[in-house]
Structure formats: C-alpha cells, structure tokens
Amino acid sequence: MILDILTYPNPELYKISKPVEKFDKSLHSLLNNMAETMYEANGIGLAAPQVGHKLRVFVIDIAIDEEDENKLYEFINPKISQSSGTLTFEEGCLSVPGLSEEVKRKEKIQVDYFDRFGKPQILETEGLLAVAIQHENDHLDGVLFIDRLSPIRRRMVKKKLSKAITL
Ligand code: CO
C-alpha cells in the first residue's frame, strides 16, 4: 500500500519518534508499505515519521541506477554507535520536495539496530549509505536536512520554501 508522505512544514516532522517494542505483523506491514512508498516516490530512504508513524524505523535502498542491484535495508531502533571523518553530500528529502542542498555528515559510521524480527544487527558503512542512514536517523529525532545547514543558508532556504508553499 502506498502511504501519504508528509511534507515541510508539517509539525509532525519535528516530533521525536518512539522505539519499536513489538516486532509483529503490524510492524512488518508498515515496513512493506514504507518500502513500496519509497520506491514509488523514487526516494532512496524513508523514515516512519514521514508517513505519520512516530516509530524509530526507516528503510533505505541506495541502488539508483537500474543496473544496480537492489538491496533493501530495514533499520529498527537504530543507534549510530561510532563515527569518523566528514564528507559533504548534496541531499534531498521526500518531505522537502524540489530542494537539494549540500550537508556535512560523518564519512564512516557504525550503526547498531534490529531487523524486523527483533534480531540485533551491526553495520559498518561509509559513503552514500552512511549519509542516508544519518539523514533518516535525523528524521526519528525530528530533524530535517535543512536544519543541518549553516544559519545563513538555512534562512535562505526557508525563505525559498515559504514562498513555494504560499504559491
Ligand atoms: Co528525508
């Protein structure tokens, strides 16, 4: 099922999500629906609060080209436990349509999380997947990528967005 994606400045996007406690059928159907919604919207990541569920859950598939092998990652109750280096990457977000901005992130991370069956997992990664995990993880804390910009850039972007919304 395709879910509705909430967009800026919806206040729901600024709330803190709660950890998943039950790894049950309703979690599995949420995960399935989130993946379907992400693929349909041509996104590479989607967090539960973007579709109105304040749960610490996100899905990612960074295969952009059709030749790339699809790999769907499902992260539940993730924690970035280690990180190093920095990199700047041009990010966009399904909740902030039509905007992309360079954001500074950690280059390498280790993320501890649970799979859909409640089994603990550890992933060490870098580059685009690490960027996507940090972006989606921010959604769980009510942070959008535009909140990570420098104050001047953020002011410019918010002005641009408020104009776009008024039209
Ligand atoms: Co996003």
Tokens of 28: 């599995």
Neighbours of 76 (CB within 10 A): 22
Q: What is the pLDDT of residues 108-120, one digit of tens each?
A: 999 999 999 999 9
Taking alpha carbons only, the member of 70, 3, 78, 58 closest to residue 36 is: 3
Backbone angles phi and psi of 9, in degrees to 5: -100, 40
What average pLDDT does range 14-37 have in this prediction? 98
- What pLDDT does residue 162 have? 87
- What pLDDT does residue 91 have? 97
Q: Average pLDDT over the chain, rounded to whole?
A: 95
11 burial class (0-12, 13-18, 19+ CB within 10 angstroms)?
Answer: exposed
Q: What residues pack around ion ligand 1 (CB closer than 5 A)?
A: 93
- Ligand 1 centroid to 25 CA: how many Å? 25
Backbone angles phi and psi of 28, in degrees to 5: -65, -40
Out of 74, 91, 101, 136, which one is annotated catalytic? Answer: 136
Q: Is 66 an annotated catalytic residue?
A: no
- Ligand 1 centroid to 9 CA: how many Å? 13
Ordered domains of the chain (ranges, CATH): 11-166 (3.90.45.10)
- Ligand 1 centroid to 46 CA: how many Å? 6
- Ligand 1 centroid to 138 CA: how many Å? 8
- Asked if residues 76 and 20 have their Cβ atoms less than 8 Å apart, the reply is yes
